[in-house]
Amino acid sequence: MALPPYQVLNQSQLRTIHAHTLDILANTGIAVQHKAALEMLAEAGARVNFQRRRVFFPPALVEQALKNIPREFVCAGREPVFDFRVAVDAPPVCRCTGGAVNHVDFVTNQRHPLTLADCRDIAHIVDGLENTAFTATQTPSDAALPVYDIQALKTMLTSGRKHIWALADSAENLTYQLEMMLAVAGSSKALAKRPICHGIVTLLEPFIFPHDEIERLLLYGRYRIPVKVPVVPMMGANAPATIAGTMVQANAEAVAAVALIHCLCPGTPTWYYFFVQAMNKRTGGSIFMSPEIVICSLALIQMARHYRLPAAPSSFETTGARLEDVVFGNGMSVNLFALAGAFENASTGCVDMSLGISKQGLVIGDDIWRHTRRLLEGFVDEKDAFALDAIKRVSIGSNEYLSDDHTLRFLRREAQFVPGVIANRPGAEWYSDPKSLAREARERVADLLENHMVPPLDAAVRKELDSIEQTAKQQILNA
Amino acid sequence: MIPAAAADTAEKHNIDLKPPGVPGLKVISDADCAKIHEASLEVLNTTGIVVTSPRAQSVFADHGAIVDRSTSRVRLPPDLVEKALAGMPSTIRIPGRDPSRDYIMGQNRLGFVNFGSTVYLNDLYTGQRRDALKEDVAQATRVMDTLDSLKILISMLNATDKSPLTESLHTLAAMLANTTKPVEAIPPTADLIPKMARIGEAAVGKDTFRKRPFFFTGVCVVSPLQLVDECSEVLMAAVEHGFTTSVLSMCLAGGTSPIHLAGTVVQHNAEVLSGLTLGQLVKPGAPMFYSSSTTALDMRFGAAAVGSPEGALLNAALAKMGRYYHIPVRVSGG
Q: Cite the DSSP H helix spans in A278-358.
A: 291-306, 323-339
Establish if B200 belongs to a structural domain: yes
Q: Which of B189, B212, B235 is the last residue of a domain?
A: B212
- Per-residue model confidence (pLDDT) at position B10: 31
Q: Are residues B65 and B132 in the same domain?
A: no
Establish if B134 belongs to a structural domain: yes
Chain A 308-337, residues with CB within 8 Å of chain B CB atoms: 335
Q: Are residues B112 and B207 in the same domain?
A: yes
- Per-residue model confidence (pLDDT) at position A197: 98
B26–A395: do the CB atoms touch at under 8 Å?
Answer: no
Residues 6 or more apart from A63 whose CB is under 8 A from it?
A: none
A394/B contact by beta carbon, under 8 A: yes
Residues 6 or more apart from B234 whose CB is under 8 A from it?
A: B187, B188, B189, B190, B193, B217, B219
- Per-residue model confidence (pLDDT) at position A414: 81
- Per-residue model confidence (pLDDT) at position A24: 97
B257–A401: do the CB atoms touch at under 8 Å?
Answer: yes
B257–A8: do the CB atoms touch at under 8 Å?
Answer: no
B23–A10: do the CB atoms touch at under 8 Å?
Answer: yes
Q: Between chain A and chain B, how many beta carbons pairs sit less than 8 Å apart?
A: 139
Please list every residue in chain A whose beta carbon sits closer than 8 Å to the beta carbon of residue B128: none
A417–B309: do the CB atoms touch at under 8 Å?
Answer: yes
- Per-residue model confidence (pLDDT) at position B301: 84
- Per-residue model confidence (pLDDT) at position B135: 96
pLDDT higher than threshold 80 for residue A468: yes
Q: How many CB atoms lie within 10 A of CB A250?
A: 29
Whole-model pTM: value is 0.88
Establish if A160 belongs to a structural domain: yes
- Per-residue model confidence (pLDDT) at position B184: 93
Spatial contact of B9 and B34, defined as CB atoms under 8 Å apart: yes
- Residues A239, A245, A250, CA angle at the centre, nearest 5°? 60
- Per-residue model confidence (pLDDT) at position B9: 34
Q: SS3 of A204, please? A: strand
Establish if A126 belongs to a structural domain: yes
Q: Report d(CA B274, CA A372) in Å as an integer.
A: 33
Rounded alpha-carbon distances, angstroms, from residue B150 to A176, B13, B110, B114, B288: 58, 33, 11, 7, 19
Q: Are residues B82 and B140 in the same domain?
A: no
A8/B contact by beta carbon, under 8 A: yes
Please list every residue in chain B whose beta carbon sits closer than 8 Å to the beta carbon of residue A426: 301, 303
Q: Which of B212, B232, B252 is the last residue of a domain?
A: B212
State the DSSP H helix or E strand holding residue A119, giving kind and residue range, or none if neither.
helix A116-128
Establish if A38 belongs to a structural domain: no
- Per-residue model confidence (pLDDT) at position A121: 98
Q: Are residues B219 and B321 in the same domain?
A: yes
Q: Give A157→chain B minimum CA distance, Å.
A: 35
- Read off the amino acid at residue A457: L
- Per-residue model confidence (pLDDT) at position B43: 96
At A77, phi and psi to the nearest 5? -100, 175
Tell which residue, A275, A200, A195, has the closest CA to residue A231: A275
Nearest CB neighbour to A395, from listed B36, B47, B260: B47
Q: Are residues B199 and B221 in the same domain?
A: no
Q: Domain total for chain A?
A: 1
Q: Are residues B161 and B244 in the same domain?
A: no
Q: Which of B42, B260, B315 to mutate to test the interface with A (most CBs of A within 10 A)?
A: B260
Q: Are residues B220 and B332 in the same domain?
A: yes
pLDDT in tens, A261-318: 999 999 999 999 999 999 998 998 899 999 999 999 999 999 999 999 999 999 998 9
Q: Give A216→chain B minimum CA distance, Å.
A: 39
Q: Are residues B157 and B50 in the same domain?
A: no
Establish if A404 belongs to a structural domain: no
At A239, phi and psi to the nearest 5? -140, 160
Q: How many CB atoms lie within 10 A of CB B250?
A: 19
pLDDT higher than threshold 90 for residue A128: yes
Establish if A105 belongs to a structural domain: yes
State the DSSP H helix or E strand holding residue B120, giving kind and residue range, or none if neither.
strand B120-122
Please list every residue in chain A whose beta carbon sits closer than 8 Å to the beta carbon of residue B297: 402
B126/A contact by beta carbon, under 8 A: no
pLDDT higher than threshold 90 for residue A368: yes
- Read off the amino acid at residue B262: A
**pLDDT > 90 fraction of chain A, expressed in percent and rounded:** 85
Residues 6 or more apart from A479 whose CB is under 8 A from it?
A: none
Answer whether the bond into residue A206 is a cis peptide, omega within 30°. yes
Please list every residue in chain B whose beta carbon sits closer than 8 Å to the beta carbon of residue A2: none
Q: Are residues B52 and B119 in the same domain?
A: no
Tell which residue, A375, A373, A404, has the closest CA to residue B253: A404
Residue with the bigger pLDDT between B298 and A217: it is: A217
Q: What is the CATH number of the domain that holds B248?
A: 3.20.20.480
Q: Which of B256, B259, B266, B320 to mutate to test the interface with A (most CBs of A within 10 A)?
A: B259
B225/A contact by beta carbon, under 8 A: yes
Q: Which of B155, B179, B212 is the last residue of a domain?
A: B212
Domain that residue A110 falls in: 66-377
Mean pLDDT of chain A, nearest integer: 95
Domain that residue B178 falls in: 108-212
Please list every residue in chain B whose beta carbon sits closer than 8 Å to the beta carbon of residue A4: 26, 29
B31/A contact by beta carbon, under 8 A: no
A406–B22: do the CB atoms touch at under 8 Å?
Answer: no
Burial group, residue A459, by CB count within 10 angstroms (0-12, 13-18, 19+) = exposed
Q: Are residues B281 and B324 in the same domain?
A: yes
Mean pLDDT of A162-183: 98
Nearest CB neighbour to B24, from listed A7, A378, A401: A7
Establish if B102 belongs to a structural domain: no
- Per-residue model confidence (pLDDT) at position B119: 87
Please state which of the ranges A90-99, A240-249, B6-15, B321-330 shows the lowest mean pLDDT: B6-15
- Per-residue model confidence (pLDDT) at position B1: 31
Q: Give A303→chain B minimum CA distance, Å.
A: 13
Q: Report d(CA A346, CA A93) in Å as an integer.
A: 9
Q: Are residues B223 and B205 in the same domain?
A: no
Establish if A30 belongs to a structural domain: no
pLDDT in tens, A307-360: 999 999 999 989 989 999 999 999 889 999 999 999 999 999 999 999 999 999
Spatial contact of B329 and B291, defined as CB atoms under 8 Å apart: yes
Q: Domain total for chain B?
A: 2
Chain A 423-462, residues with CB within 8 Å of chain B CB atoms: 424-427, 429, 431
Answer whether the bond into residue B224 is a cis peptide, omega within 30°. yes
Nearest CB neighbour to A395, from listed B36, B225, B310: B225
Nearest CB neighbour to B254, from listed A374, A381, A402: A402
Q: SS3 of A85, please? A: strand
Q: Give A472→chain B minimum CA distance, Å.
A: 49
B263–A391: do the CB atoms touch at under 8 Å?
Answer: yes
Establish if B254 belongs to a structural domain: yes
pLDDT higher than threshold 60 for residue A400: yes
B277/A contact by beta carbon, under 8 A: no
Q: Which of A401, A414, A422 to mutate to test the interface with B (most CBs of B within 10 A)?
A: A401
pLDDT in tens, A188-210: 999 999 999 999 999 998 999 99
- Per-residue model confidence (pLDDT) at position B23: 57
Establish if B273 belongs to a structural domain: yes
- Per-residue model confidence (pLDDT) at position B3: 31
A6–B26: do the CB atoms touch at under 8 Å?
Answer: yes
Establish if B11 belongs to a structural domain: yes
Please list every residue in chain B whose beta carbon sits closer than 8 Å to the beta carbon of residue A385: 258, 260-263
With a cut of 70, list the residues of chain B below it in pLDDT: 1-24
State the DSSP H helix or E strand holding residue A356, giving kind and residue range, or none if neither.
strand A356-357
A429–B301: do the CB atoms touch at under 8 Å?
Answer: yes
Establish if B101 belongs to a structural domain: no
Q: Are residues B319 and B220 in the same domain?
A: yes
Please list every residue in chain A whose beta carbon sits closer than 8 Å to the beta carbon of residue B306: 424
Establish if B305 belongs to a structural domain: yes
B307/A contact by beta carbon, under 8 A: yes
B310/A contact by beta carbon, under 8 A: yes
Nearest CB neighbour to A400, from listed B36, B255, B267: B255
